[in-house]
Structure formats: C-alpha cells, structure tokens
C-alpha cells in the first residue's frame, strides 16, 4: 500500500492560496488535503481525482438543530472521502472527549467516510513517562468496535510537536507506532494504517516514514505550501 500524505489546512486557505496544489502529481504517495469545509465542494471540481479531499471534523448526528455544525453525510455529499477526528486542537479548545470522537467516527462510517482518529500525549504526559498509557486509553475509547482498516486510519500526533518545530526522536516515534500497531492488532486482529503528525517537513519526512508501522504523515503547516507538501509526498515513499 502507498504511503499517505494528508494535509490539514486548519483554518487556512482562500482562493488566492490554491495555485500549485491542483498540479501536484499522482506520484508514489497517496494525496489527501483537508481544507476548511467551505472549500471541499469547489476543490472537488478543481482538483484532479488523485487528490482526495477530507474534512477536519464532523458532528455525530446526521442532521438537526445544531447551529454551526456540519454532519458527516454533508461532507460526503460535498466530495470528502476522509474526516480528521479528535485532533488535539479540538480536544483542547473544544473539550472533545474520546467518547465524542468515537461517536463522530461512527457517524463517519455511516456516511462512507474514512475516519482519521488522532491520538497523542502532552509534554507533561511524556515527561512523566505516561505516553503509552495515554495512547492506550485514548485508542480504547476513541476507536469504535466497528472500526476496520478500510474505514479507519490512526494518526499519532504528540501534542507538543504540533506546530512547534519540535519532533520526537525516531526511536520515540517508532516506539509509539509499534505500540499502536500491536494494540490494534490484538483488539481487531487487523493491521491499521498509522500516520505520524507533528512538525513533519520535507527534511524529516523520509526518515520518519522509513520506520516500521509508519504509513504516512498528517501534515499541518507544511501542507499549506504546494512545494513543501509535494516534497513531503515524494519523500514519504
Ligand atoms: C497537525 O496539526 O495535525 C500538524 C501535524 O501540524 P504541524 O505539521 O504544523 O505540526
């Protein structure tokens, strides 16, 4: 299976910023861009089919009186194939719990979206030696029993590495990816794709993605530049 380069644009992206993305080649890595939800349907028309589109969140309900929210079915209809769930910025700023993430993942499955479920430790959790416990707890509660490798991708994103320019050592990344792989293998009897996210750049992508059980990257800041995102996609393979 090809490695996956998944870009999380967060609350960035206006029409003027799009030059260069549509011409990213269908190269050795799978490409996925998760723009603000308002852009998904327009980009589905403008981007070639090999650039998949995803959302950055969804609501757990299909429809209803939830002002400001967007359902997984709506995202699917707009042209999304994936949705990022449980990003640390949503867990921190919007108080999302593991249970919320699991409910949203089930909504994503119902709509035919692939859920990219994010897990990761804070700096204090790492410093106190609790990284694997945090990951274990978060995986147990935020990945639904219905998850399959076809419907679910895990993203390991140490919170302290997101947007900071700091990355864990290769040994630290390898340890956590191996742990996630083993944990899901024993729970589901299946191998899931596991992305690494946190200050991934063209210069470190190849080394990180050469580690066992690293299936690609979830890329924030560097995905806003078509040159950097394209270079990372090349390096992943
Ligand atoms: C992210 O927000 O998912 C992320 C990995 O951001 P960055 O690459 O900027 O650290």
Q: What is the model's pLDDT at position 17?
A: 82
- State whether residue 9 is helix, strand or coil: coil
Q: How confident is the model at residue 13 (pLDDT cuts 50, 70, 90)?
A: confident
Ligand 1 centroid – CA 174 distance (Å): 18
The preferred substitution site among 173, 204, 219 for testing ligand 1, maximizing ligand atoms within 8 Å of CB, is 219
The preferred substitution site among 89, 196, 198, 214 for testing ligand 1, maximizing ligand atoms within 8 Å of CB, is 198
Q: Tell me, using a 6 A CB cutoff, whether residue 96 lines ligand 1.
A: no
Ligand 1 centroid – CA 88 distance (Å): 10
Residue 15 has pLDDT above 90, yes or no: no
Ligand 1, atom 2, lies closest to the CA of 220
Instruction: Output the six-digit token pair for 64.
Output: 């209803």
By the 10 Å C-beta count (0-12 exposed, 13-18 middle, 19+ buried), 60 is classed as buried
- State whether residue 219 is helix, strand or coil: strand
Q: Tell me, using a 6 A CB cutoff, whether residue 54 lines ligand 1.
A: no
Residue 237 has pLDDT above 90, yes or no: no
Q: Is 232 left (phi over 0), alpha (psi -120 to 50) or beta?
A: alpha
User: Residue 10: how many CA atoms within 13 Å on its side-chain side?
Assistant: 13
Per-residue model confidence as pLDDT tens digits over 27-43 = 999 999 999 999 999 99
Ligand 1, atom 4, lies closest to the CA of 220
Instruction: Output the six-digit token pair for 96.
Output: 């999302």
Q: What number does the ligand 1 atom closest to the CA of 197 have?
A: 5
Q: Tell me, using a 6 A CB cutoff, whether residue 228 lines ligand 1.
A: no
Per-residue model confidence as pLDDT tens digits over 57-114 = 999 999 999 999 999 999 999 999 999 999 999 999 999 999 999 999 999 999 999 9
Q: Tell me, using a 6 A CB cutoff, whether residue 223 lines ligand 1.
A: no
Residues 136 and 171: their CA atoms lie apart, in Å, by 18
Per-residue model confidence as pLDDT tens digits over 145-200 = 999 999 999 999 999 999 999 999 999 999 999 999 999 999 999 999 999 999 99
By the 10 Å C-beta count (0-12 exposed, 13-18 middle, 19+ buried), 34 is classed as buried
Provide the CA 182 distance to its chain's centre, in angstroms: 20
Report, as residue numbers or ranges, the catalytic residues: 87, 157
- State whether residue 117 is helix, strand or coil: strand
Are the beta carbons of 45 and 33 closer than 8 angstroms?
A: no
Are the beta carbons of 40 and 32 closer than 8 angstroms?
A: no
> Quick one: DSSP state of residue 65?
S
Which is it for strands 4-8 and 30-34: parallel, antiparallel or unpaired? parallel
């Amino acid at each position: 299976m090809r490695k996956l380069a998944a870009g999380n644009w967060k609350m960035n992206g206006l029409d003027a910023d799009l030059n260069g993305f549509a011409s990213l080649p269908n190269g050795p890595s799978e490409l996925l861009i998760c723009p603000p939800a308002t852009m998904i349907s327009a980009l589905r028309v403008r981007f070639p089919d090999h650039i998949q589109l995803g959302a950055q969140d969804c609501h757990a309900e299909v429809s209803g009186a939830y002002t400001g929210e967007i359902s997984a079915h709506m995202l699917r209809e707009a042209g999304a194939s994936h949705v990022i769930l449980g990003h640390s910025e949503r867990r921190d700023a919007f108080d999302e719990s593991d249970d919320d993430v699991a409910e949203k993942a089930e909504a994503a499955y119902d709509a035919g979206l692939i859920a990219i479920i994010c897990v990761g430790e804070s700096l204090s959790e790492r410093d106190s030696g609790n990284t694997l416990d945090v990951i274990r707890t978060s995986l147990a509660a935020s990945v639904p029993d219905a998850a399959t490798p076809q419907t679910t991708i895990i993203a390991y994103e140490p919170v302290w590495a997101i947007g900071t320019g700091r990355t864990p050592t290769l040994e630290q990344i390898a340890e956590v990816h191996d742990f996630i792989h083993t944990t899901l293998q024993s729970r589901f009897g299946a191998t899931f794709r596991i992305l690494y996210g946190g200050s991934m750049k063209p210069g470190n992508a190849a080394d990180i993605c050469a580690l066992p059980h690293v299936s690609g990257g979830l890329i924030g800041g560097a995905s806003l530049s078509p040159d950097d995102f394209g270079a990372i996609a090349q390096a992943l393979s």
